[in-house]
Every structure is written in structure tokens, then in C-alpha cells.
């Protein structure tokens, strides 16, 4: 059986890390695409030269021409510009919208049957624009944010409780950004919801609130430390989990920015919700009950995504 083909559009910090993880996990052959000449070729060759040491088989191609992604099974998009200190995700809108147009056209021409995962920020608006530009069916394109946001929350919780990250689950909804909605009562340690852990004396409401806040600002915390770019190891690992669930039909339940068509009373936007990812792409959306307060937070988050989508329509008339 031929190996799967995984195209990575953008060979920057996340793109390079994705390429390495695809090899280490033997998910398939890799095409690294970038407009910068030499970078995708150089990173591809460097990783290919690590393969004999780590003992994995994968072919690496670096390219500056979209023809190289032809027939890709999975496309992961990181092309664009990341945040610098002081920049919000929304500042990236105009620049990255143009990039999505070029990427969307490339996917439409060469990989119309791929499962596409968008990472470029501002995420919820960029995945929306990429779907429009590419013309992909809405179940074949999702945005990566929730897996990362919940991984951050899980890390903070595991650290707080001194337990394995494996036994901590976390649940976040809504747009990627400072108004994402972590659902505390659906977050657990070995199945025990966080409010019960407060009752058991493991932690306090205040400490959980502080961890929620740190999760919301988790991207900015890394940007301020790195000073020259944004997080890339955890974002790459998160997108790989989504790609693997599709390629291996794992049917994992993962929070992704998915196209809503009436679910949660929303139509025509990509919003972070729990979905099942399997061989059919985004196969099912889970609709969970929310409290009044959670619904209000969710509505606020949705409104900010809607605002960005309207801004995209204002910049590019063909999207209106």
C-alpha cells in the first residue's frame, strides 16, 4: 500500500516541527511547501537525514510550487505571519487573508480531496476564509485551536495536582483567543470533575480560575517569552493528533474549529466545539449543555469570531 501524502503549507516554526513529527510517527511522506526558497528544501533534507538515526521511513520533498502537493491526503496550513510581542491575533488578519487566498487556490487545484487542518491566525476567521477560497466541503476542513488550548489547561492542572497529564482531561469551547470558554465542570482528573476536586480539598475555585485565565492567555505568555515568534511545539503536536485521527480513522473526540450549520444555534461560522474526526473528516459535532454563564461567554466568543469574518468580507469583496 502506498504511503499517505501529507502536505505542509508553510515551512516555518510550526511547519518544520510538523514535518519532524510526521516522520517520527511514520504517518506518511511529507511535502513541505513555502514561498521562501530553500527553507522547505533545507528543512526537508535535514529531517530526512535524521531518519536513519531515528529509524523511520518517510520521503521528504521541499517545494515552492503548488504542483508538489498534488493528491495529498492531508494538508496542514501554517502559511502566514505569526504574532510579535504587542500584536494581537487580529492584527494578522489582512496579511494572512491574502495568504489564505493563495493557499485556497493551490488546494482547490491540486488537493481537492484532502482533509485540511488550518492553523494560521486569527484561526477561526482564517479557516472560514480558507474554506471559501478552496471550495472544500465543510466536513473536510477544520481549524486547530481547541486541542492546543485544552492541552495547555491540562498541563497546568496536572502540574497543580501533581498527577500525570494522561489522567487529566480538559474541555474548551468557543473561538481561539482570549475569550475562549474552558468548561471547568467537564474537565476532569481520572473522570472526577474539577468542582468535585475542589470539594475534596485538592484545589480551590480561585486557583482554578487562575489556571483558566492562564490558559486563555497561554499563547501570549509564550510570545512574550520567545520575543521573536509564537508557540510551535504544542501547536504542531495538536495538529498531528488531529491528522492522525483522520488517517487512522481513530474517531477521536477533539475540540476543533468546525463549520456549524445550526448546531449551537449558529450557522455559517467555524467555532471551537468537540467533534469526532475519522476517515470521513469531521464526522460529528457534539452539542453539550451549557449553563447560563457559559452560554454568555460562548456568545461573546462567537461575536468576536463573527466580527473578524465581517472584517474579512470587508477586505475581500469576493467573500461577502
Rounded CA gap, 247 and 75, in Å? 12
**Which of 63, 59, 17, 19 has the alpha carbon at shortest distance from 39?**
63
- Which of residues 5, 7, 8, 12 is near ligand A3D by CB under 6 A? 12
Scored b (16 or more CB within 10 A) or e, 252-269 reads: bebbbbbbbeeebebeeb
Report residue 98 as a C-alpha cell.
491574502
- Is 176 annotated as catalytic? yes
Report residue 217 as a C-alpha cell.
492567555
Q: Among residues 34 and 73, whose Cβ is nearest to ligand A3D? A: 34
Within 13 Å of residue 196, how many CA atoms lie on the same side as its CB? 9
* Burial class (CB within 10 angstroms; exposed 0-12, middle 13-18, buried 19+) of 193: middle
Q: Among residues 7 and 194, whose Cβ is nearest to ligand A3D? A: 7
Rounded CA gap, 286 and 106, in Å? 31
* Least distance in angstroms from the C-beta of 268 to ligand A3D: 20
301 binds ligand A3D (CB under 6 A): no
The residue number with the shortest CB distance to ligand A3D is: 12
- What SS3 class is residue 16? helix
Q: Quote the distance between the C-alpha of residue 90 and its chain's center.
A: 16
* Least distance in angstroms from the C-beta of 245 to ligand A3D: 17
129 binds ligand A3D (CB under 6 A): no
Size of the site for ligand A3D (CB under 6 A): 33
- Rounded to a whole number, what is the largest CA-CA distance in the chain? 58
Query: Is 15 labeled as ligand-binding?
Result: yes
- By CB under 6 A, the residues from 32 to 61 that bind ligand A3D are 34-36, 39
306 binds ligand A3D (CB under 6 A): no
* Least distance in angstroms from the C-beta of 34 to ligand A3D: 5
- Which of residues 30, 63, 78, 297 is near ligand A3D by CB under 6 A? 78
82 binds ligand A3D (CB under 6 A): yes
Query: Is 96 labeled as ligand-binding?
Result: yes
Q: Do 275 and 134 form a contact (C-beta atoms < 8 A)?
A: no
Which letter does DSSP use for residue 268 in this model? E
* Least distance in angstroms from the C-beta of 312 to ligand A3D: 15
- Which of residues 66, 133, 232, 298 is near ligand A3D by CB under 6 A? 232
Rounded CA gap, 36 and 103, in Å? 14
- What SS3 class is residue 185? helix
218 binds ligand A3D (CB under 6 A): no
- Which of residues 5, 43, 83, 152 is near ligand A3D by CB under 6 A? 83
- Residues lying near ligand A3D in the complex (CB under 6 A) are found at 9-15, 34-36, 39, 78-80, 82-83, 92, 96, 99, 102, 119-121, 123, 144-145, 148, 176, 229-232, 235
Question: Which residues are known to be catalytic?
Answer: 176
Which residues line the annotated binding site? 10-15, 34, 83, 89, 96, 119-121, 152
Amino acid at each position: 500500500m502506498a504511503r499517505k501524502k501529507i502536505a505542509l503549507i508553510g515551512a516555518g516554526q510550526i511547519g518544520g516541527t510538523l514535518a519532524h513529527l510526521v516522520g517520527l510517527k511514520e504517518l506518511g511522506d511529507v511535502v513541505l511547501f513555502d514561498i521562501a526558497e530553500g527553507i522547505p528544501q533545507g528543512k526537508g533534507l535535514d529531517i530526512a537525514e535524521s531518519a536513519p538515526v531515528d529509524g523511520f521511513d518517510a520521503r521528504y520533498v521541499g517545494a515552492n510550487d503548488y504542483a508538489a502537493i498534488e493528491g495529498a491526503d492531508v494538508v496542514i496550513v501554517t502559511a502566514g505571519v505569526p504574532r510579535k510581542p504587542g500584536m494581537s491575533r487580529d492584527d494578522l488578519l489582512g496579511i494572512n487573508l491574502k495568504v489564505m487566498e493563495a493557499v485556497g487556490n493551490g488546494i482547490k487545484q491540486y488537493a481537492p480531496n484532502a482533509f485540511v487542518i488550518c492553523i494560521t491566525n486569527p484561526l477561526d476567521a482564517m479557516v472560514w476564509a480558507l474554506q471559501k477560497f478552496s471550495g472544500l466541503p465543510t466536513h473536510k476542513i477544520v481549524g486547530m485551536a481547541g486541542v492546543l488550548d485544552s492541552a495547555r489547561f491540562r498541563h497546568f492542572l496536572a502540574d497543580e495536582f501533581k498527577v500525570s497529564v494522561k489522567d487529566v482531561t480538559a474541555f474548551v469551547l468557543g473561538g481561539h483567543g482570549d475569550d475562549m470558554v474552558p468548561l471547568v465542570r467537564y474537565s476532569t482528573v481520572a473522570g472526577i470533575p474539577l468542582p468535585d476536586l475542589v470539594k475534596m480539598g485538592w484545589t480551590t475555585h480561585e486557583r482554578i480560575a487562575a489556571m483558566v485565565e492562564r490558559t486563555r492567555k497561554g499563547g501570549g505568555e509564550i510570545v512574550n517569552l520567545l520575543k521573536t515568534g509564537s508557540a510551535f511545539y504544542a501547536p504542531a503536536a495538536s495538529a498531528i493528533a488531529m491528522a492522525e485521527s483522520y488517517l487512522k480513522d481513530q474517531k477521536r473526540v477533539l475540540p476543533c474549529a468546525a463549520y456549524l450549520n445550526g448546531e449551537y444555534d449558529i450557522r455559517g461560522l467555524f467555532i471551537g466545539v468537540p467533534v469526532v474526526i475519522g476517515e470521513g473528516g469531521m464526522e460529528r459535532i457534539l452539542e453539550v449543555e451549557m449553563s447560563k454563564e457559559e452560554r454568555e461567554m460562548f456568545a461573546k466568543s462567537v461575536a468576536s469570531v463573527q466580527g473578524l469574518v465581517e472584517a474579512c468580507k470587508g477586505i475581500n469583496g469576493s467573500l461577502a
